């Protein structure tokens, strides 16, 4: 066909690179612009995360950039209006910043903890955490407490890295892959690329999930598990492996602490220098457990010279896990998987691990100086996420999965689950959290971390919480990411104290990021007897008109990711590959569309105004001109900053070096990412790889080049359990707190029923109910995206087809979903790919009327619903307990997936009587969907004129 028309105006086009923010993957993108506007968005084929692959969300960035839901300017709540009405007046940036500066200055001078600063999926927690540390408030955290802190804390405490961003399956070499609770939005493009590789090689994929959608749909075997039963299944696998002695004993002896001796107190036996001891079988004496030239006993009980009885940690593990209570026949009642299936899967794992090793012929030296000619790996890999994590037993369930990996010897080895730089680190891999604050002073440590023992908790002399979210208290001692979901509830109760200002960035706490949504809204708008709001002042920064914006007193409008500079730092949530250290930036591809500013620029300016020490020069003036200047010049330690690429004065020092004034431009010239490949000898067994440990110390990733011991037996947990037994200097004041520590802080992983489920009548609420984020949307951000709304603009409750038929429910029937705290209306959808006792829906598609630039009668508001409205933030009370959050008792992880509900079909008159909430007011200068069509036209249509014969025969 000749004389084709011009499809693109290439002469008018330019290309810019940046990093996507349509989900948490942080893929590289190539943006084509025409006449200063976005023409289309593509994946960057050179980027380490996505290799050119881009999902529907990434392509739909155009509609996010030009969304009518974007905020236009700073806003103040209209004088005389009620909080929550959505009535605002536009103010200048000068007025907004002056108002915020004055309020924050007063708080900081009086009591910094009266500021509660909490951020959502912001991807810049290193900056917001530093800001909170400099302000001096303990009350800072990000979204992890209601997302996946169980997963992160379990991994960091066990072996110094975890699933999700800190590790990755060896897609190239694994021979058996097991997915645990991974919804289809998790890791998106990287997992899709990896699964494609597995399918091409014929690797068996086993999906453990109550729902078969997304990744589960392409698995070779789907295992429909009872929600909250993952730990039970993992422990049953462990029982089978131990019973049949299909374990990697050499791995356990060499790399874990299971050969260490434990005394009657449950603590490790140590010498006078604090070194753990093991029993040497050659000499029949105790010796330094970490010496390489001893032959330690893995199993055995012994008597020390001083008469104390001791046993190896493995002996305790075998006693626990070989008990019949952990057998497949016992655990099937808790996980819903038949005992025969459990035994078969356990044997499949062992067969691949021990009969099909992977050998990489690269010489390496272990931490003891021993030379090895090759890396030999157990090619079983796993990946786990929120389906395991978002239960109140999720922390111990995640630990059980890691214990299973260790028994198979499949940690950080060829074909196994690999760490990603800057991980692994020495457990628990993060510093202790701050537990004291003072007026006008920075904290002495970051607000978040992991306590090593009861002495590190953020409690006062009486044992009461010092943080508004009760993180690092006796109720949630290892809440490594805070407990964001409890901030509003505790602030409304003034427990442990009243706050002055709640500052929220990019977290929709009035809607899909809260439990008990109706109750949360009531708390946000609650007033004292004198008419003042119980939470006096609320600041919200967001790029869009979320539901939370309507409850603000001051709105700080953020930019979109295509309009700002940003860092994806190894100090934060890294994008590294297993064999390469990577980070990235965002650079503006377009100018801000409205009178908005990046939140990070606002924070840097506020830090200068408030004269934070790190942000203030010797003369009292701001040290940094802006965010870019801060990123360039600030150093965490000599040579270590937010960005690892092109450091040094000449930009020729990777990972560590002096600040480089041209660093931003070097990133832009390299398509906005940096990649430093690890030497081949450092790529596996990094917890005991001499070259890697030295490399990591030089790079500043670790403080020591000593071997990283995999802590399958947790002495940290045992210390908290002992406090529950009344032992030690620091003991909880309340008996219910001591009881919880005794029961849940066990040093070896174990199973217990999710807390809410154990306190509920299963007959009254027979269905487990879970949510998933759809692959085509991310949180609540994208259900206002015109292109993505064409895929789904409402959500259904998905019910097992057989169960639905028994209840007389068909597709699109209206039903009531009821829990112990309320009920919501929903339409039903029947399917085969869901466990019979489980129902599910998409998260965050339901919207508050009038929010997100949508019409008040948009499908999302009329036919969509929010399952959050049925989830109680408090557990049903028992006896002497104070109100306890509906969370994991160890980490404070929000127990989203512990929900149980009842379903009843609506009567005709109930459907007729359905009503909907009143709409939020339209924000100043913002058009709603029905006033301005949500569409984007990039150019004129190009028509092709072809002959009939050409249509038929042209190849």
pLDDT digits (tens, 9 = 90+) for 320-360: 999 999 999 999 999 999 999 999 999 999 999 999 999 99
Tell me the HSE value of 171 on the side-chain side, using a 13 A CA sphere: 16
Strand partners, 30: 17, 42
In terms of pLDDT, which residue wins out, 913 or 3?
913
Strand partners, 312: 261
Mean pLDDT of 374-387: 96
Identify which of 171, 314, 331, 307 has the alpha carbon closest to the alpha carbon of residue 236: 331
Instruction: Specify the pLDDT at position 941.
Output: 77
Mean pLDDT (the chain, rounded): 94
Confidence of residue 13 (pLDDT cuts 50, 70, 90): very high
3-state secondary structure 7-63: CCCHHHEEEEEEECCCCCCCCEEEEEEECCEEEEEEECCCCCCCCCCCCHHHHCHHH
What is the C-alpha to C-alpha distance for residues 853 and 874, in angstroms, rounded to an integer? Answer: 33
How far apart, in whole angstroms, are the C-alpha atoms of residue 468 and residue 18?
37
CA distance 168 to 163: 7
Q: Which position has the token pair 């190539």?
A: 30
Q: What is the mean pLDDT of residues 34-47?
A: 94
Query: Given this model, what pLDDT does residue 844 score?
Result: 87
**Residue found by looking up tokens 């990996």 in the block:** 405
> Mean pLDDT lowest for which of 140-149, 191-200, 464-473, 941-950?
941-950
Distances (CA, A) of 219 to 25, 56, 216, 222, 344: 22, 22, 5, 6, 17
Question: Tell me, what's the pLDDT at 358?
Answer: 98
d(CA 296, CA 279): 5
84, 229, 330, 468 from 324: Cα distances, Å: 55, 17, 7, 43
- Catalogue the E-assigned strands of 694-807: 767-772, 796-800
Q: How would you class 876 by CB atoms within 10 Å of its CB: exposed for 0-12, middle for 13-18, buried for 19 or more?
A: middle
Residue 46 has pLDDT above 90, yes or no: yes
Residue 496: what pLDDT?
97
Tens digit of each residue's pLDDT (9 = 90 or more) over 584-637: 999 999 999 999 999 999 999 999 999 999 999 988 899 999 999 999 999 999
Q: Which helix (H) or strand (E) holds 280?
A: strand 277-280
Query: Is the pLDDT assigned to residue 931 strictly greater than 80?
Result: no
The answer to whether residue 235 scores a pLDDT higher than 70 is: yes
Q: Is the per-residue pLDDT at 864 higher than 90?
A: yes
pLDDT score at 42: 96
Cα distances (Å, whole numbers) of residue 465 to 472, 480, 490, 812 = 8, 15, 11, 47
Tens of pLDDT, residue by residue over 247-275, are 999 999 999 999 999 999 999 999 999 99
Residue 449 has pLDDT above 90, yes or no: yes
According to the model, what pLDDT value does residue 186 have?
64
409-433: pLDDT as tens digits: 999 999 999 999 999 999 998 999 9
**Which of 422, 450, 423, 381 has its CA nearest to residue 154?**
450
Average pLDDT over residues 516-521: 96
Give the pLDDT of residue 928.
Answer: 58
What average pLDDT does the segment 786-795 reach?
A: 91
Please state the rounded mean pLDDT for residues 666-690. 98
pLDDT band at 181 (very low <50, low <70, confident <90, very high): very high
Q: Which long-range contacts (CB under 8 A, 24 or more apart) does 99-107 make?
A: 99/554, 100/539, 100/554, 100/556, 100/606, 101/606, 101/609, 101/610, 103/500, 103/501, 103/537, 104/135, 104/501, 104/606, 104/610, 105/609, 105/610, 107/500, 107/501
So what's the pLDDT on residue 949? Answer: 80
User: How much is the pLDDT for 936?
Assistant: 62
How confident is the model over 902-927, as a mean pLDDT?
A: 89
Is residue 687 within 8 Å of residue 254, measured between CB atoms?
no
Closest CA to 771 of 673, 898, 867, 684: 867
DSSP conformation letters of 481-537: T--GGGHHHHHHHTSS---SEEEEES--TTTTTSSSHHHHHHHHT-B-TTS-BSS-E
529-557, pLDDT tens digit by residue? 999 999 999 999 999 999 999 999 999 99
- How sure is the predictor about 122, in pLDDT bands with cuts at 50, 70 and 90? low
Q: How far apart are CA 421 and CA 714, in angstroms?
A: 24
List, in order, residues 6 or more apart from 899 with CB less than 8 Å away. Answer: 756, 768, 769, 770, 819, 867, 870, 871
Percent of the chain scored above 90 by pLDDT?
85
Q: What is the pLDDT of residues 478-500, one digit of tens each?
A: 999 999 999 999 999 999 999 99
Structural contact between residues 712 and 248, judged by C-beta atoms closer than 8 angstroms: no
Peptide bond into 35 cis (omega under 30): no
Q: Are strands 358-360 and 537-542 parallel, antiparallel or unpaired?
A: unpaired
pLDDT band for 955, please (50, 70, 90 cuts): low
Q: Let me know: does 258 contact 298? Beta carbons within 8 Å.
A: yes
Give the other-Cβ count within 10 Å of 14's Cβ: 13
Percent of the chain predicted with pLDDT > 70: 98
């Amino acid at each position: 066909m000749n004389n084709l028309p011009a499809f693109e105006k290439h002469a008018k086009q330019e290309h810019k690179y940046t990093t996507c923010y349509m989900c948490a993957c942080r893929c590289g993108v190539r943006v084509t612009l025409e006449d200063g506007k976005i023409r289309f968005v593509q994946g960057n084929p050179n980027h380490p995360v996505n290799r050119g692959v881009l999902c529907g969300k990434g392509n739909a960035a155009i509609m996010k950039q030009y969304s009518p839901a974007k905020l236009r300017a700073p806003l103040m709540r209209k004088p005389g209006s009620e909080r929550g009405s959505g009535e605002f007046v536009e103010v200048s940036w000068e007025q907004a910043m002056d108002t915020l500066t004055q309020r924050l200055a007063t708080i900081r001078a009086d009591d910094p903890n009266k500021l509660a600063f909490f951020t959502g999926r912001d991807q810049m927690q290193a900056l917001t955490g530093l800001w909170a540390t400099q302000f001096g408030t303990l009350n800072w955290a990000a979204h992890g407490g209601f997302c996946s802190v169980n997963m992160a804390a379990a991994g960091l405490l066990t072996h110094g890295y975890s699933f999700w961003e800190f590790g990755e399956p060896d897609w190239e070499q694994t021979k058996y892959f097991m997915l645990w609770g991974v919804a289809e939005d998790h890791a998106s493009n990287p997992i899709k690329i990896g699964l494609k590789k597995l399918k091409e090689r014929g690797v068996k994929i086993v999906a453990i999930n109550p729902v078969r959608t997304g990744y589960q749909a392409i698995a070779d075997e789907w295992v429909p598990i009872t929600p909250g039963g993952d730990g039970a299944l993992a422990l049953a696998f462990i029982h089978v492996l131990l019973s049949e002695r299909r374990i990697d004993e050499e791995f356990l002896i060499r790399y874990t602490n299971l050969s260490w001796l434990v005394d009657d107190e449950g603590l490790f036996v140590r010498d006078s220098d604090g070194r753990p001891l093991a029993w040497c079988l050659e000499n029949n004496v105790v010796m330094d457990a970490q010496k390489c030239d001893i032959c330690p006993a893995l199993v055995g009980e012994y008597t020390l010279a001083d008469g104390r009885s001791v046993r190896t940690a493995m002996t305790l593990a075998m006693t626990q896990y070989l008990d019949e209570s952990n057998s497949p026949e016992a655990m099937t009642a808790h996980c819903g998987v038949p005992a025969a299936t459990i035994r078969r899967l356990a044997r499949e794992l062992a067969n691949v691990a021990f009969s099909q090793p992977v050998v990489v012929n690269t010489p390496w030296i272990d931490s003891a100086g021993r030379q090895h000619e090759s890396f030999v790996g157990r090619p079983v890999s796993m990946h786990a996420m929120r389906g395991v994590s978002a239960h109140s037993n999720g922390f111990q369930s995640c630990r059980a999965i890691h214990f299973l990996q260790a028994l198979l010897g499949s940690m950080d080895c060829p074909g196994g689950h690999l760490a990603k730089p800057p991980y692994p680190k020495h457990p628990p891999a993060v510093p202790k959290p701050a537990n004291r604050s003072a007026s006008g002073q920075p904290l002495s440590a970051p607000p978040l971390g992991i306590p090593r023992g009861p002495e590190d908790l953020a409690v006062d002399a009486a044992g009461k919480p010092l943080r508004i979210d009760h993180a690092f208290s006796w109720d949630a001692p290892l809440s490594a990411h805070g407990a964001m979901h409890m901030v509003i509830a505790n602030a409304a109760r003034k427990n442990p104290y009243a706050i002055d200002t709640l500052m929220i960035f990019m977290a929709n706490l009035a809607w899909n990021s809260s439990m008990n949504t109706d109750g949360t809204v009531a708390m946000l708008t609650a007033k004292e007897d004198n008419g003042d709001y119980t939470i006096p002042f609320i600041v919200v920064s967001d790029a869009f008109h979320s539901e939370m914006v309507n409850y603000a007193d001051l709105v700080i409008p953020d930019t979109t990711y295509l309009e700002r500079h940003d860092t994806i730092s190894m100090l934060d949530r890294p994008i590294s590959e297993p064999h390469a250290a990577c980070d990235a930036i965002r650079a503006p591809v377009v100018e801000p569309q409205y009178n908005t500013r990046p939140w990070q620029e606002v924070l840097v300016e506020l830090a200068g105004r408030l004269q934070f020490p790190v942000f203030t020069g010797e003369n009292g003036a701001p040290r940094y001109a802006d965010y870019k200047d801060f990123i360039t010049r600030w150093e965490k330690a000599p040579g270590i900053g937010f960005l690892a690429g092109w450091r040094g004065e000449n930009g020729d020092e990777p990972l560590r070096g002096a600040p480089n004034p041209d660093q931003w431009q070097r990133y832009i010239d390299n398509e906005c990412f940096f990649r430093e490949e690890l030497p081949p000898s450092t790529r596996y067994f990094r917890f005991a790889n001499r070259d890697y440990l030295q490399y990591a110390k030089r790079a500043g990733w670790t403080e020591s080049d000593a071997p990283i011991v995999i802590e399958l037996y947790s002495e940290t947990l045992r210390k908290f359990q002992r406090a529950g037994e009344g032992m030690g200097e620091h003991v909880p004041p309340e008996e219910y707190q001591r009881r919880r520590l005794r029961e849940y802080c066990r040093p070896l992983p174990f199973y217990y029923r999710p807390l809410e489920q154990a306190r509920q009548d299963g007959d009254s609420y027979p269905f487990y109910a879970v949510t998933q984020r759809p692959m085509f949307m991310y949180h609540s951000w994208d259900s206002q995206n015109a292109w993505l709304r064409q895929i789904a603009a409402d959500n259904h409750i998905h019910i097992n087809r057989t169960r639905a038929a028994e209840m007389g429910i068909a597709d699109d029937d209206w039903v009531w979903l009821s829990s112990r705290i309320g009920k919501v209306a929903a339409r039903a959808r029947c399917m085969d790919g869901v466990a019979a006792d489980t129902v599910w829906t998409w998260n965050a598609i339901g919207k508050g009327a009038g929010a997100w630039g949508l019409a008040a009668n948009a499908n999302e508001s009329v036919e969509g619903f929010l399952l959050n409205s049925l989830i109680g933030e408090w557990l049903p009370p028992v006896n002497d307990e104070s109100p306890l959050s509906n969370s994991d008792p160890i980490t404070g992880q929000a127990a989203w997936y512990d929900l149980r509900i009842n379903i009843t079909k609506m009567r005709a008159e109930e459907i007729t009587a359905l009503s909907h909430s009143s709409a939020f007011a339209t924000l100043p200068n913002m058009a709603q969907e029905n006033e301005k069509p949500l569409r984007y036209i990039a150019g004129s249509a190009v028509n092709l004129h072809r002959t009939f014969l050409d249509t038929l025969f042209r190849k």
